[in-house]
Structure 1
Amino acid sequence: MDRVTLTDTLSLSRIVYGMWRLSEDRDTSAGHVQAKVEACLEQGITSMDQADIYGGYEAEALLGAAFKAAPGLRDKCEIVTKCDIVAPAGRHADARVKHYDTSRAHVTQSVEDSLRLMAIDRIDLLLIHRPDPLMDHHETGRALDDLVASGKVGAVGVSNFRPWDWSLLQSAMQTPLVTNQIEISLNRLEPFTNGDLAFLQEKGVPPMAWSPLGGGSLMSGESDQKGLRPTLARVAKEQNVDIAAVAVAWLLAHPSKIMPVMGTNTLSRIATLGDALKVEMDRQAWFELYTHALGHEVP
């Protein structure tokens, strides 16, 4: 499995396993979660993507139970998690309204909660989950710097930030932001033209891509783009992989080193996540899919 270097001490597997659906599985036992992690590790997928809010603030604890049940498993993984979304659920059930909180107190407490729930002593990569319109960038920046200095967090980044949100936060920090996890797929093309990817590429910052299969619509055929699914199916047949592998390979072909975050609870699907790296995607094949996704020829 290819790897993407983020810092001198941190690299992630090119494909990341997303755990946002972990609590939705019928079997949430420690053994079953362990089996998912091990199915990833067998392919060289070592990076696990979490967030405090996933599963109504339950998903981190499910991963922690697996780590407790299988000593040594955590040492084979890089742990990514996120904070700042406060929703009326779980430990925030008393919140009057869903909101964002990038205050020092909240970010610091979120890290302590994540460490405890996942039964780990260090978060490899912490992301601010959503831009906060009330963010005091000096306060948030100092909190992130201090968490890295403490050793509780290895590196920091953001998620769903626009370039100006990134620049604002980074301006108040000593620690470099190392990634932005944004929605990118054949169903979400805007980052290719609205400056989001160009901004990161200019800075040499590899992006992470959430919902790389368009929330499953590319697999189910619900996508609106005429001709896209038949083209995905044709390429998949030619290269002896499934449609998902082609859609992910399309992202992998971009020079910004996109890291797709793949979420599934099915062990058989997890076992094929690495197939995307087998797909050959030349420039014309890339633009053929892009054209169908756009719904028209490029200008």
Structure 2
Amino acid sequence: MAVEIAPNGPLLSPIVAGMWRLNDWRLNVQARVRWLEEALALGVTSFDHADIYGDYGCEALFGEALKAAPHLKGQIQVISKCGIRLKGKAHPYLVNHYDTSAAYVRAQVDASLKRLDVERLDLLLIHRPDYLMDAAELAESFHALKKEGKVAHFGVSNHSASQFELLDRQWPLATNQLELSVLEHKALDDGTLEQCQAKRIRPMIWSPLGGGRLFTGKDAQALRVRALLEALAKDYGVSPATLAYAWILRHPSKPLPLTGSGRIAAVKEAVDALKVDLSREDWYRLWVACRGHDVP
């Protein structure tokens, strides 16, 4: 089921498991191993991390599972992100800020490799646009990390089309991880998805269920979308969550949605969306439900 996400880019599963809530799942080591095995059985082989997730703790929890079951390492692709400095007890910064300097990126990659208990990241993303980023310097860091065998491919997350282009001219990027859901349409209109199509790069999508708002929100927009989603889901014979993933997958940029749940049943709902053939008209019906008006 693996797909190439960019020309000469990494092979990832079409549904990626997001690990940012791993600490909240409260799974012991053996339960984490079972969860990984069950995800792999569904065809989900790619796992998305960031150094800061779980107050810098989620990568270590994942690494503990790999130490307990090292045979899984050859079956998975590990993704991580860096570039955000979050203040806390272990990091007494004066303010949260971004850092893409060569020294910081290298240090965070080394720390992630140690916490995850892997020798190489399949994909490293710059987590947020750094207003002080030196694109040439960062590209040199990418070159060194790849030469040393620590990172295979590089990309970005939450970058605008122009920010992506600046770095991509220095080093070919494999993806842009963006927010998109039936409730969040910014990426449809800001040029990032068009850029992905033009460069034949598949975007990764975070918060595909609107951070849970799709099913818990009480505002008029969420209620409109939920009502239509539930009605259409019955027509397609799938769950509303599966249809929400299918709405994202329908885009011609061929996105890779990230799950965020510790429930394997929820991961399966995302995988089931790969089989849904959502019509163009129904896609636009959900667009209209979100916007609250007809197309221009």
Instruction: Report what 1:111 is aligned to.
Output: 109
Q: Deviations over 1:102-156 (max 9, x none)?
A: 0000000100000000000000000000000111111111101211122110100
Q: Which runs of 4+ in 1 moved over 6 A?
A: none
Instruction: Report what 2:34 is aligned to.
Output: 35
Per-residue deviation, 1:242: 1.3
The 1:293–1:54 alpha-carbon spacing in structure 2 relative to 1, beyond 3 Å, is same
The residue matched to 2:122 in structure 1 has which SS? strand
What letter corresponds to residue 265 of structure 2 in structure 1?
S
TM-score (norm 2): 0.95
Contact 2:7/2:201 (CA < 8 Å) preserved in 1? no
Alignment of 1:8-157 (within 5 A): 8=8, 10-27=10-27, 29-89=28-88, 91=90, 93-157=91-155
Report the more deviating stretch, 216-225 or 195-204: 216-225
Contact 1:245/1:275 (CA < 8 Å) preserved in 2? yes
Q: Deviations over 1:198-236 (max 9, x none)?
A: 111111111011101110111224453253111111121
1:260 is aligned to 2:260: no
1:190 is aligned to 2:167: no
Counterpart CA distance in 2 for 1:110 and 1:7 is: 26
Contact 1:30/1:69 (CA < 8 Å) preserved in 2? yes
Counterpart CA distance in 2 for 1:188 and 1:120 is: 34
Q: Deviations over 1:74-124 (max 9, x none)?
A: 211110100010001364x22121111100000001000000000000000
Contact 2:2/2:11 (CA < 8 Å) preserved in 1? no
Counterpart CA distance in 2 for 1:44 and 1:141 is: 33
The residue matched to 1:154 in structure 2 has which SS? coil
Instruction: State the superposition RMSD in angstroms.
Output: 1.5
Instruction: Report what 2:283 is aligned to.
Output: 286
Structure 1: any 5+ residue segments left out of the alignment? none
Counterpart CA distance in 2 for 1:37 and 1:47 is: 10
Q: Deviations over 1:243-277 (max 9, x none)?
A: 11100100101110111111101233234331111
1:244 is aligned to 2:241: yes
Per-residue deviation, 1:170: 2.1
The residue matched to 1:158 in structure 2 has which SS? strand
Contact 2:13/2:43 (CA < 8 Å) preserved in 1? yes
TM-score (norm 1): 0.94
Instruction: Report what 1:212 is aligned to.
Output: 208
Instruction: Report what 2:175 is aligned to.
Output: 179
The 1:294–1:2 alpha-carbon spacing in structure 2 relative to 1, beyond 3 Å, is farther
Contact 1:17/1:262 (CA < 8 Å) preserved in 2? yes
Per-residue deviation, 1:10: 2.0
What letter corresponds to residue 14 of structure 1 in structure 2?
P
Counterpart CA distance in 2 for 1:127 and 1:5 is: 14
The residue matched to 1:97 in structure 2 has which SS? coil
Per-residue deviation, 1:35: 2.0
Counterpart CA distance in 1 for 2:251 and 2:188 is: 10
Contact 2:23/2:54 (CA < 8 Å) preserved in 1? yes
The size of the alignment, in residue pairs, is 295
Report the more deviating stretch, 79-88 or 36-45: 36-45
Report the more deviating stretch, 222-231 or 203-212: 222-231
Counterpart CA distance in 2 for 1:198 and 1:256 is: 7
The 1:75–1:89 alpha-carbon spacing in structure 2 relative to 1, beyond 3 Å, is farther
Structure 2: any 5+ residue segments left out of the alignment? none
What letter corresponds to residue 201 of structure 2 in structure 1?
V
Counterpart CA distance in 2 for 1:256 and 1:10 is: 16
Instruction: Report what 1:297 is aligned to.
Output: 294
Counterpart CA distance in 1 for 2:218 and 2:47 is: 28
What letter corresponds to residue 171 of structure 1 in structure 2?
R
Q: Deviations over 1:27-81 (max 9, x none)?
A: 3x21122222122111111110000000000000000000000121121111010
Counterpart CA distance in 1 for 2:75 and 2:267 is: 17
The residue matched to 2:175 in structure 1 has which SS? strand
